[in-house]
Structure 1
């Protein structure tokens, strides 16, 4: 049995839930409550020394980092492929996915926001301004990338779900949660709407997880 160490609102874990669902894999969810600091405890640090979610326990060990996990799943279970196409297209898919996972998400995740408010004394309004600034900058770039590539389908790269969609949809979820105006990003909004019509994405939504209380 695959075990996903998970927190329902973690966008990184959200990506992996979508991947597992798309691949049709059964998995057990082990809750790591980030709001209660469980990720920093010795028990979880023994599983993932970074103290981050997700982590994926498989027969041969434990994997961390959501993009690495998604590519691992894609290599073992290649249908449907998350990185289809030729080398150029796969590089473009990875670039868009990494725009979310490496540029937008790291400066806006819970531990960064908690440091801003708890250690630096930033108030809630300033925290929200920080969040909006970085996600707005990232989504603006993604919208332009989607226009440049213009693959002519309902998803980021044509008519097939890719790793880029798995990263984009959770980030849009967070943008809405923090009340960012998405009007300037019609392509992103359309892709998000299309993806959420699929069962694999619907079942992965934060509000549909066992720990969503």
Structure 2
């Protein structure tokens, strides 16, 4: 059996999602750090793995995959994780919930975008923080409203972690990091507590895998 290798960065939201799924699937893997701050993702060796120069890159089952949402689909389908309901309509609703943060909020709050904002506004040292606080809270408020259509028992969409939980938790890590307020989101906070208590989520948390 080939070794499973995850090329990731400890604070990368996309990498964090994949770590959760690997843990849920109980897949042993070797982590290879790609330091985004140091620019390792733009190095020739990494671009050879992923021409986009992004993380994560997952090497598994003799394949190499990029794009966290595609990786999550692969792991769910090959390891029976059940991240989406079997019913197509219900699956679309859960996928939309997950994508509301993974597709609409995360991209405008990633390192490359926010770093560019800071470079454009060198005379505004708080530009990065202001940016995060501008985009994260409305995205989480929308997620909270979408949660009304699901039964949090105790996770986003029922009694087991779904794609939505895996996409939500990294965004909450960023919200806390940048002090983006989501105190008015009781459903999200209840899901956060349930996920934080789950070993697969806890082991994937940046504080568990990052530099100490």
Q: CA deviation at 1:206?
A: 0.3
What's the TM-score, normalizing by structure 1? 0.94
Q: Which residue is equivalent to 1:19?
A: 21
Q: Distance in 2 between matches of 1:94 and 1:139?
A: 16
Aligned length: 210
C-alpha contact (below 8 Å) 2:132/2:180 kept by paired residues:
no
Aligned-residue RMSD, C-alpha:
1.3
Structure 1 unaligned segments of length 5 or more: list them. Answer: none
| Deviations 1:40-59, CA, capped at 9 Å, x for gaps | 11110001111111110124
Offset, 1:88: 1.4
Counterpart among 74, 77, 83 of residue 75 in structure 1: 77
Post-superposition shift, 1:122? 6.2
Q: Which residue of 1 aligns with 2:175?
A: 175
Counterpart-to-counterpart distance in 2, 1:59 and 1:86: 27
Match of 1:95 in 2: 96
Q: Are the counterparts in 2 of residues 116 and 122 from structure 1 also a CA contact under 8 Å?
A: no
Residue 194 of structure 1 aligns with which residue? 194
In the aligned structure 2, how far is the partner of 1:60 from the partner of 1:122?
49
Structure 1's consecutive aligned runs of 4 or more residues displaced over 6 angstroms after TM superposition are: none
State the secondary structure of the residue aligned to 1:14: helix
User: Do the aligned residues in 1 keep the contact of 2:147 with 2:156 (CA within 8 Å)?
Assistant: yes
Structure 2: give runs of 5+ residues left out of the alignment: none
